Amino acid sequence: MTADAYPAPRLLAMAIAWLREKHPDALIIPEFSAANFGGAKIDVVAVTATQLVGVEIKGDGDSPTRLAIQGPAYSAVCTSMFLLPAPSLFLRCANKRPPGWSMLIAEGDSIRMGDRSGQYLPTSPYRLMEMMWAAEVRELARLLQADVMGCRGCDAIGRRIAETVPLESIRKRVLETLLLRNWRQFNKTVYRPDAA
């Protein structure tokens, strides 16, 4: 690989290091599923007690076309999103950047902040509930003291929670759940704050 090549794996390693620097106490998760059944996978996220920060990567040879779909899906669960394109794709990605996302710039083996027009994204309570596993949804209903009488199945419970519990309370409990989840159960790679 040449020094000016930025394939997705190289950018992923850079994004993980950048997130660790910005959020030293976060749980870093590559290929984070932001929807039911493993759908809408964000390249890497940092989970803290108060926010979910995502980085979407477009390496050499990728296309920015999918950003039109990824934007609304990822913005519905993350409190902030960053786009990290290979330098060869920077202008094309900047032109297709979803609303509210900030740009990151790859230089050598480091990242610097580009356009910081990003903002706190309008999280969807229901989409947050979609990220939870069945047992977690039931536990969240208990912890949030949600009235889920008559709800059959986790989708119905999640919808009821999303419709009746304030977003701030849902986000707090979902983030706690993600931080405490047994990721090893499914051989999922995660980087804890004390990891090298």
Domain map (residue ranges) of the chain: 8-113, 125-184
pLDDT for 184: 85
Chain center to CA of 65: 19
61-118, pLDDT tens digit by residue? 999 999 999 999 999 999 999 999 999 999 999 999 999 999 999 999 999 988 776 6
Could you tell me if 25 and 46 are in contact, meaning their C-beta atoms sit under 8 angstroms apart? no
* 114 to 18, 71, 103, 194: CA distances (angstroms): 13, 18, 5, 28
pLDDT for 3: 64
Quote the CA–CA distance of 29 and 175 in Å, as a whole number.
13
pLDDT for 162: 94
Quote the CA–CA distance of 79 and 51 in Å, as a whole number.
6
pLDDT for 186: 79
Residue predicted with more confidence, 119 or 80 = 80
Could you tell me if 47 and 179 are in contact, meaning their C-beta atoms sit under 8 angstroms apart? yes
What value does the mean pLDDT take over residues 6-32? 96
What value does the mean pLDDT take over residues 134-144? 94
pLDDT for 71: 93
> Residue 2 above 60 pLDDT?
no
In words, the CATH class of domain 8-113 is alpha beta
